[in-house]
Amino acid sequence: MWMSLVNLFAVACGAVTGAGILFAGLRLLDRRGQPPATAPHGSVAGPVFLFQDQHLLDATPDAAAMITPRFDHMGDLDAAIHALSPHFPTLRDTLAGGTSGKTRIEGNKPDGLWIEVDKIADRLRLAVLGDKTATNPGASAVIERDVRLSELAMLRDMTQHSPQLIWQEGPTGKLLWANHAYLSLCDNLHGTDANSQSSWPSASLFPDLHETLVSKGTSVRRMSITLPHQKAEQWFDVTSVKRDDGFMHFAADANAIVRADQERRHFVQSLSKTFADLSIGLAIFDKRRQLSMFNPALLDMTRLPVDFLSMRPTLDAVLDKLRESRMLPEPKNYTSWRDGFTALEAAAKKGRYTEIWNLPEGQTYRVTGRPHPDGAFAFLFEDISAEISLTRRFRSDIETGQAVLDTLPEAIAVFSSAGTMVMSNAAYARIWGAVSDERVKQHELQAAMRIWQSRCTPTQMWADLRQFIHLLGARKPWSDDAILDDGRHLRCHANPISGGMTMVKFSFAPPMKPIIRKLTMPDSALLAAKR
């Protein structure tokens, strides 16, 4: 009985021990607990990573320190591969091949390190191992050293092959180090081989730089040098950073920026010269409603003093000054007019503002608003006094000519060569009916012919008149007679005038004597007898 109890206790202890061993073996595939760094016989363990679907599940402390925080911007698996690649360059290709089970990847250096890759389904275990006989400070330290050396080599390549000039100066301004771009520029400047030790630059490319540097902080300035074989200056934006043992300088090419700024200034100067020759006054206001540019014509037209305009006054100040000099149309309420000018200003920004200013002294200005970039807007002042005077005189001449035509007893209508009625007089309206201004614009010869034919007895005269009006080239005066419905005799005269136009004149003719009319008219009885 006692032996049975002993045997039962031994079995139970064995089961518990086996379960503990199994659980310890499975801890590597679970997130609970730190994974043990087990290693094969004859080797030492290093960093160990455990991934699932490329996400890190667990890692030994030296493995976690290897990828954080240096590669936080990468994915977990990519960070581990990036850290291990300097020592195991085939690691990425091996993992990309989709291998499963255990795989050994040898390092590229004679330090006895290798990686044991163990992949089951979507879980991946990477363990760095090494020989016991390897004389190295440990796998983690070796890999960390390789990563740092790789980063250092990359930084050296970046600084040496950067198109930006990078150099270091001591506290006294002596050149301590420079990259290839800086040395190449020195070579072009002095005509020597800047890469040779004997021709190391003795002076800085920017000798005035050290004298103007501040003792602390970072400074940025634009500087230039002139190469012997080039006439144009080479411009650089130089950034200087203070260090304990001197300064670090970074010079970026600023030629494009400088040339663009020079071209912009030349363009503004060209515009200024063009504006100076314009007879139209120009005033440009910025988005703060301040005068930013004006031309001499504005001074002549507005009579504003140049010192006032040079002070960049606001739009309201300019309007007040124009009112004082009687160069504004005098409204009934100037305050409300000026307040309402804000809406006109908004219309000018949209390119829709145009207004005619009739000034108290008789001048007439056309003021036009135009939008400009960045919320600015421009006003153009154009003196149209002569144009308005000519228009008024032309209108007066037309009204005088119309008044003269209206006094004539004959009905007169003028047609263009295309057959459009240009004008008519009062006598024409009494015979054929009044023609409104809108009808004059659209009144055609065909419409007038229908009116004439409807009020007269049938005759071939209207077809002849139509042909005469449309006839091109030299013409002789034409005339013929027609009879109105009320029996009155109407005589029609057509005279060619300048511009290919035709003046048609209608007048009443005295009736012919019956006997003369009888003799001149065809006898229907005689015509019938001849047939």
Residue-wise pLDDT for 257-283, tens only, equals: 988 888 888 887 887 788 888 888 998
Judge whether 218 lies within some domain: yes
Flag whether pLDDT at 337 surpasses 60: yes
CATH code assigned at 204? 3.30.450.20
From 348, 383, 418, the end of a domain falls on 383
Q: In this predicted structure, what is the pLDDT of residue 202?
A: 64
> Do 247 and 202 share a structural domain?
yes
Across the range 28-35, mean pLDDT stands at 38
Using a pLDDT cut of 90, give the percent of the chain over it.
Answer: 9
pLDDT, residue 2, reads 35
* For residues 179-190, average pLDDT: 82
Instruction: Tell me the C-alpha to C-alpha distance, in Å, between residue 263 and each of 96, 232, 252, 258.
Output: 54, 14, 20, 9
Does the structure show a pLDDT above 80 at 235? Answer: yes
Same-domain pairing of 251 and 184: yes
Does the CA dihedral 281-285-291-292 come out positive or negative? Answer: negative
Q: How many domains does the chain have?
A: 4
Weakest-pLDDT range from 229-238, 243-252, 437-446: 437-446
Whether residue 450 sits in one domain with residue 358 = no
* Crossing angle between the packed helical segments 334-349 and 315-324, to the nearest 10 degrees: 130
Tell me the pLDDT tens digit for each residue of 93-103. 888 877 778 88
Read off the pLDDT band of 27 (50, 70, 90): very low
In a domain, 11, yes or no: no
Is pLDDT larger for residue 458 or for residue 518? 458
Does residue 207 belong to any structural domain of this protein?
yes
20, part of any domain: no
- The H or E element that residue 467 is part of is helix 461-470
Statement to judge: residues 38 and 147 lie in one domain: yes
Q: Among 152, 185, 204, where does a domain finish?
A: 152
In this prediction, residue 414 has a pLDDT band, given cuts at 50, 70 and 90, of very high
Radius of gyration of the chain (CA): 52
Q: Is the same domain home to 410 and 495?
A: yes
In-domain check, residue 266: no
Q: Are residues 238 and 293 in the same domain?
A: no
Residue 273 falls inside a structural domain: no
Q: Are residues 322 and 237 in the same domain?
A: no
Residues 140 and 170 both lie in one domain: no
- Of 493 and 440, the structure prediction assigns the larger pLDDT to 493
Neighbours of 126 (CB within 10 A): 24
Q: Which of 212-216, 326-330, 459-463 has the highest mean pLDDT?
A: 459-463
Encoded tokens for 282: 């120009």
Give domain status of residue 14, yes or no. no
In terms of domains, do 148 and 174 share one?
Answer: no
Predicted confidence band of residue 411 (pLDDT cuts 50, 70, 90):
very high
Q: Does some domain include residue 82? A: yes
Domain that includes residue 486, residue range: 404-517
Pairing label, strands 377-383, 411-415: unpaired
- CATH number, domain containing residue 125: 3.30.450
Whether the full predicted model's pTM is greater than 0.75, yes or no, is: no
| pLDDT score at 11 | 36
What letter does residue 521 receive in the DSSP assignment? S
Name the helix (H) or strand (E) containing 63. helix 61-67
Taking alpha carbons only, the member of 480, 489, 413 closest to residue 457 is: 489
Domain end point (choices 383, 415, 442) = 383
Tell me which of 509 and 31 has the higher pLDDT: 509
Find tokens 């001074």 and name the residue.
Answer: 299
